[in-house]
Amino acid sequence: MNFAFALELLDQLPTPIAAIAENGTIRYRNRAFNDAFGGDAIDWIREAARTVAGERGWLQGFFLDGDESRTIDVEIEGRVFRIDRIMHIKDEEGPAVTVSFEDVTQQREAEQAKSDFTAQIVHDLRGPLSGIQGTLEFVLSQEGAKLESLYADLLQEAYRETERMMGLVNEILDFSKIQSGAFIVETEPVRVAGVLKRAVRSLQSVAARDEIFLLSAHGRDVPQIIGSVEKLTQAVINLISNSLKFTPKKGLISVGAQIVRNGDAPEAIVITVTDTGMGIRAEDVDKIFQKYKQSGTKSLRGGGGTGLGLYIVKQVVEAHGGEVSVASIEGVGTSMVLRLPVKRAA
């Protein structure tokens, strides 16, 4: 295949392709590129490079070894282009890279629409679900009515199912907020000991029903951090709920907090939720914090879940400037570890 033929071939492709030199000038562009960007191409490329340079050093990054698969979405004048590096060129004119430009504006709009739809439907679901849950809670609290045990059992079962459904709906709602960029972490002082206590208390009855010990493993002297009480509580509840699914009867789940110090000053808090469950297969350990991913281990108590719980935990922790990790030994147990920095209030 000769060079002219290769250029002709590139000209026939519907995807805009250009070869860009290290200084940002365009050394080659195919027909689709001209059609898409016309005479303003150089300005456009410079604008794109400037847009991303502060964030990821995109243009410079194209010329570095070991950076083969860099893809980035760039928004210019209301349109979104996904830019992929195709290959590295080095000839007598110097180094250059060929890059392709895919207009993903419609795709992004569709994703946004999907996200908006999810948020709307989840809000619509929560209303009646809260009503049903409240009614059941009220009926179950009526001791004087002496509900026959059969009815009481059925109502308990219905109540547990609404709790489970509420959990799923809340996970989808949190997920849609993360996807739409509306996931904002408040900056209020958070008593971590209080968060852990609340999370343990909210699942104590579930653990007792399943004959699992659920114990606090932290003192009261855990320092405060800055963040969101609600989101951190939800993250710890997600972790305990997850452990409850995989811990057999007579098992133990502990919820602990340790202080990491730098000299005398507390630097971070490490929260652990540890169970004596079945453990996670080694090949699944790295995947469990990804969205829609669940460990290959089958839940002991049915109910597959959304596969979003641990993903949400990771997002919450990262939004607080922290990090997550996991330790697991098959057949022995699993420990989810969250590290949250102790930020001083301004």
For position 297 contacting other proteins by CB under 8 A, the verdict is no
x/- track of binding to other proteins for residues 258-277 (CB under 8 A): x-----------x-x-xxx-
Residue among 192, 333, 340, 342 that touches other proteins (CB under 8 A)? 333
Choose between 276 and 315: whose C-beta lies nearer to other proteins. 276
* Strand order through the sheet with 265-275: 213-217, 252-262, 265-275, 333-341, 323-329
- Report in angstroms how near the CB of residue 302 gets to other proteins at its nearest: 23
Choose between 30 and 328: whose C-beta lies nearer to other proteins. 328
What distance in Å separates the CA atoms of residue 68 and residue 60, rounded to the nearest whole number? 12
Choose between 169 and 336: whose C-beta lies nearer to other proteins. 336
For position 317 contacting other proteins by CB under 8 A, the verdict is no
Helix 229-246 vs helix 192-209: crossing angle, to nearest 10: 30
β-pair partners for 28: 19
Instruction: Kindly state the number of chain residues that form the binding site for other proteins, as judged by CB under 8 A.
Output: 34
What distance in Å separates the CA atoms of residue 195 and residue 233, rounded to the nearest whole number? 5
Choose between 43 and 330: whose C-beta lies nearer to other proteins. 330
β-pair partners for 35: none
- Report in angstroms how near the CB of residue 247 gets to other proteins at its nearest: 10
Choose between 102 and 323: whose C-beta lies nearer to other proteins. 323
Q: β-strand 188-191 against 224-227: which pairing, if any?
A: antiparallel
Per-residue tokens: 81: 């282009």
Cβ–Cβ under 8 Å, residues 234 and 312: yes
∠ Cα 182 187 193 (to 5°): 115
Choose between 105 and 335: whose C-beta lies nearer to other proteins. 335
x/- track of binding to other proteins for residues 219-238 (CB under 8 A): x-------------------
Residue among 213, 292, 303, 304 that touches other proteins (CB under 8 A)? 213
For position 170 contacting other proteins by CB under 8 A, the verdict is no
Per-residue tokens: 4: 């002219």
Q: What is the DSSP letter of 165?
A: H
Choose between 73 and 323: whose C-beta lies nearer to other proteins. 323
For position 294 contacting other proteins by CB under 8 A, the verdict is no
Determine the interface stretch with other proteins among 26-34, 233-241, 300-308, 324-332 (rule: CB under 8 A). 324-332
3-state secondary structure of 201: helix
β-pair partners for 336: 273, 326
β-pair partners for 88: 97
Determine the interface stretch with other proteins among 18-26, 30-38, 89-97, 319-327 (rule: CB under 8 A). 319-327
70 vs 64, 85, 121, 181, 281, CA distance in Å?
Answer: 11, 7, 35, 22, 30
- Report in angstroms how near the CB of residue 153 gets to other proteins at its nearest: 27
Per-residue tokens: 180: 């739409």
Determine the interface stretch with other proteins among 74-82, 86-94, 135-143, 251-259 (rule: CB under 8 A). 251-259
Cβ–Cβ under 8 Å, residues 217 and 256: yes
Note the residues at the interface with other proteins (CB under 8 A): 213, 215-219, 250-252, 254, 256, 258, 270, 272, 274-276, 282, 285, 323-330, 332-337, 339
